[in-house]
Amino acid sequence: MLLDRYRKQAHNRNQKKVYELIEREYDRLGGCEGYHAGTIGNLKLADEEIYLLLQGEYQRLANTLQLTAAQNICSKPILAVLGSVLQNKTAEGRIGARWHGGCDVVDKLEALAADRAMQAFAAQYANVQPHSGSTANQIVFKALLRPGDVILSLDSSHGGHPSHGGSDSLAENIYKIERYGVEQTSFVFDYEKILAKAKAVRPKLILCGASAYPRVIDFAKFRTIADEVGAYLLADISHIAGQVIAGVHPSPINAAHVTTTSTYKAGGPRGGLILSGGDFEMSVETSAGTMPLFEAISIATFPGMQGTPYFNNIAGKAVFFKEALSTAYRQRQQKIVNNAKTLAHCFVSSGFDVLSGGTDNHMILIDISRSKEGLSGVIAQQALEQCGIVVDSFRLPFQRGEMPAAGVRLGTPIVTMRGMGPEHMSTLAKMTSDVLKEINTNCPDKYDLKQETSSKIRDMVGDICRRFSLA
């Protein structure tokens, strides 16, 4: 009865009543703040070696400029629940049908997280149990496909994620993977060519979404392609989930049959999420028979792909989804994109080869190899990190041979979170450019950088980090 009352209230999105109900029913538990107090101090006393590593990572993050596209910073309330008593709960199965006892509280927690996810993404179904975005993809594959079925996905060398069917991935060992790519001169999608490829290989599932694609993805066109060849459409929006929530990037929720994402890139905790819009109740054929899409996904989650959910992470997701519904969060997503556009423009103006000429989202892709003879993305990453600027190296589309990655991928989520705006992007671009111009390369994996340059940029980075400290 209690769960039924909660579900009704959560469905009506009357969160105040939900909180009052939980407080009234569980006030007898008490002592929560005392139980969780002093967790860092307890760690220091119990394991100083790990404590010092924790301190070191904090100092690294606080005193460097994180220009990475795949990372973000979660809030302190999210950190609080990640290190909470919820970590101790084991409860395999679904809400109201667990394989373990004592699930009254976590049933409410999971239902609340799913409800908030649906609000944030304007979805009709949400599964908050996946441990990661990659696991979420495997769950959808298991729900909709059988061994040997064809998946058409973006080539990992063109910006696709390994979990989409990259070399040596689990998907490649189970399914037949066909790949599409970007155009060689523009580095963007040609949807007519993708359609032609789909007609040629007749996939059971088409996967759209990328880990290195700086332009808008037209999910509606992908759905048209999928419908034309009778395929399911899966959209992985791990990199742009925050922008989708904020309306800064078009949403795939009602274009794709299923949407997956990780939750940490958008500013939440580590974890995955599966969403669906109007197709969530469509009938699908599975090895267990015909059933609604959401039911197939639920079974593929447990017992199909994973065991007990991580309820501390689910709590973190719930906190994050509430944050994502705020005006401040939505405004920050627009600032992230504005910063990225400005940063890309600064690099183009400085003569760097920015793939596709710019960006529509949070990431910038640069062909470093064309800026100086012998310079690679790997060397650029190492030299910049020596100066306190953290970026990612990556292999360029159409890059040949076994040479080191020729490009770097930059992103603006963390510098935006720290309070920097477009007016600061020229400074970041100039510091980055100054380092890259001063690198002397001896061979593909070694370089020299003047101590004077390194110290100068380090000092500038330190000054910016003090001005824009971690919240």
**Contact yes or no for 276/294 (Cβ under 8 A):** yes
pLDDT 10s digits, 13-24: 455 555 565 555
Q: Is the dihedral of CA 403, 365, 192, 276 positive or negative?
A: positive
Q: How confident is the model at residue 9 (pLDDT cuts 50, 70, 90)?
A: very low
C-alpha dihedral over 217, 223, 224, 230, to 10 degrees?
Answer: 140
The angle formed by the CA atoms of residues 344, 73 and 386, to the nearest 5 degrees, is 60
Structure-token match 């599409």, residue found: 180
**Contact yes or no for 225/178 (Cβ under 8 A):** no
β-partners of residue 126 are 275
Select from 153, 119, 131, 147 the least CA-distant residue to 301: 131
Select from 120, 129, 94 the least CA-distant residue to 273: 129
75: which 2 tokens?
A: 């809030």
pLDDT 10s digits, 323-333: 999 999 999 99
Q: How confident is the model at residue 2 (pLDDT cuts 50, 70, 90)?
A: very low
- pTM (two decimals): 0.91
β-partners of residue 152 are 178, 206
CA dist., res. 259 & res. 123, Å (int): 10
Residue spans of beta strands (DSSP E) within 139-200: 150-154, 176-180
Classify 258 as helix, strand or coil: strand
194: which 2 tokens?
A: 């993708």
pLDDT 10s digits, 53-90: 999 999 999 999 999 999 999 999 999 999 999 999 99
Q: What is the pLDDT of residue 287?
A: 82
Share of the chain above pLDDT 70, in %: 93
Helix axes 422-438, 451-467, angle to 10 degrees: 160
From the number of C-beta atoms within 10 Å of its C-beta (0-12, 13-18, 19+), residue 137 rates as buried
Task: Give the rounded distance of the alpha carbon of 350 from its chain centre.
Answer: 30
- Any idea which of 216-220, 377-381, 443-447 has the lowest mean pLDDT? 443-447
DSSP string for residues in 349-391: HTT-EEGGGS-SSSEEEEEGGGTSTT--HHHHHHHHHHTTEE-
**Contact yes or no for 2/25 (Cβ under 8 A):** yes
Average pLDDT of span 167-196? 94
Q: What is the pLDDT of residue 7?
A: 47
Helix axes 327-349, 311-324, angle to 10 degrees: 80
Classify 284 as helix, strand or coil: strand
Q: How confident is the model at residue 1 (pLDDT cuts 50, 70, 90)?
A: very low
All residues at 6 or more sequence positions from 263 whose CB lies less than 8 Å from its CB, including other chains: 133, 241, 269, 270, 271, 272, 273, 316, 317, 320
CA dist., res. 359 & res. 331, Å (int): 18
Type and span of the H or E element at 280: none
**Contact yes or no for 450/438 (Cβ under 8 A):** yes
Residues making up the chain, counted from first to last: 471
186: which 2 tokens?
A: 């523009």
Q: What is the pLDDT of residue 471?
A: 67
